């Protein structure tokens, strides 16, 4: 696992161009350009649950544009517990496409997309596999942007369910862009999760954007606090 972490962290040294979409749980109706990798990297995040304090080191999402209006997404995170031990969780492979080009493709109107995900087993976590399909909508205006996600899922323990999420972003022209998100997940006959996030996206210069977010969630009635910080860039 240590070698895996070193490989992921080394990606930050690659050349990059401007792109930013963190620190959310939901996503947008946009994809990577054909032949490009987009990297969303959180080298070190903090989390506190009933299991105690945890360090997420790292969390990583890789997006690759393999065809016009299509991308593949690979993601996962490594968690180290203060009480000892670690686990690799939230692993998934997804395919996302833009159904209708809109303001997020520099055209008029709402951008629409779809994402199909295979939820993979983890290491010492997330037994079993699941599925998720999400309809995506995004729109950018002078005041900022909004995104909406909605779709069904099959949890790793074989339960049906649904996911829904919404994001608001401040104006893209601002040097520091405030953001907020609400996310809801419900497995039928099982637990539900509701989470809220507030944060900032900070374009430091052309080709580099940082982000920070504070997330509060309740999953099955149990609290889950996270402090997220990371960087987003393209690989040329």
Q: Give the pLDDT confidence score for residue 22 in this predicted structure.
A: 83
Q: Where would I find the H helices in the chain? A: 2-10
Q: Which of 143, 206, 151 is nearest to 178 (CA)?
A: 143
Residue 215 contacts residue 228 (beta carbons within 8 Å): yes
Rounded to whole angstroms, what are the CA distances from 122 to 63, 89, 224? 20, 5, 19
Q: Give the pLDDT confidence score for residue 83 in this predicted structure.
A: 86
Q: What is the pLDDT of residues 52-106, one digit of tens each?
A: 999 999 999 999 999 999 999 999 999 999 888 999 999 999 999 999 999 999 9
Q: Vertex 58, ends 70 and 119: CA angle to 5°? A: 50
Residue found by looking up tokens 């909508």 in the block: 137
Provide CB contacts within 8 A for 80, sequence distance 6+.
54, 55, 56, 57, 86
Residue 107 contacts residue 132 (beta carbons within 8 Å): no
Average pLDDT value over all residues in the chain: 89
Q: Which of 151, 209, 205, 150 is nearest to 179 (CA)?
A: 209
pLDDT at 167 over 90: yes
pLDDT at 207 over 90: no
What is the separation, in whole angstroms, between the first and last Cα of the chain?
27
Residue 86 contacts residue 3 (beta carbons within 8 Å): no
Residue found by looking up tokens 């065809």 in the block: 67
Domains of the chain: 2-235 (2.40.160.40)
Q: Give the pLDDT confidence score for residue 196 in this predicted structure.
A: 97
Q: What is the pLDDT of residues 124-164, one digit of tens each?
A: 999 999 999 999 999 999 999 999 999 999 999 999 999 99
């Amino acid at each position: 696992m240590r070698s895996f972490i070193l490989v992921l962290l080394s990606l930050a040294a690659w050349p990059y161009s401007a792109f930013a979409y963190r620190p959310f749980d939901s996503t947008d109706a946009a994809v990577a350009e054909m032949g490009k990798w987009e990297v969303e990297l959180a080298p070190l995040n903090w989390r506190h649950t009933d299991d105690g304090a945890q360090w997420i080191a790292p969390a990583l999402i890789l997006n690759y544009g393999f065809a016009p209006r299509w991308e593949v997404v690979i993601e996962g995170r490594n968690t180290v517990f203060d009480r000892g031990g670690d686990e690799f969780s939230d692993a998934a492979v997804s395919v996302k496409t833009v159904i209708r080009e809109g303001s997020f493709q520099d055209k008029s109107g709402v951008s629409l997309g779809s994402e199909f995900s295979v939820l993979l087993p983890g290491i010492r976590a997330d037994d079993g596999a699941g599925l998720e399909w999400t309809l995506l909508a995004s729109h950018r205006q002078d005041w900022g942007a909004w995104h909406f996600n909605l779709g069904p899922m099959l949890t790793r323990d074989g339960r049906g369910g649904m996911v829904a999420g919404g994001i608001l972003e401040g104006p893209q022209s601002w040097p520091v862009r405030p953001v907020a998100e609400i996310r809801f997940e419900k497995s039928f006959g099982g637990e539900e999760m509701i989470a809220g996030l507030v944060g900032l996206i900070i374009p430091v210069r052309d080709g580099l954007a940082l982000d920070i977010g504070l997330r509060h969630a309740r999953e099955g009635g149990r609290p889950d606090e996270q402090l997220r910080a990371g960087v987003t860039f393209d690989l040329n």
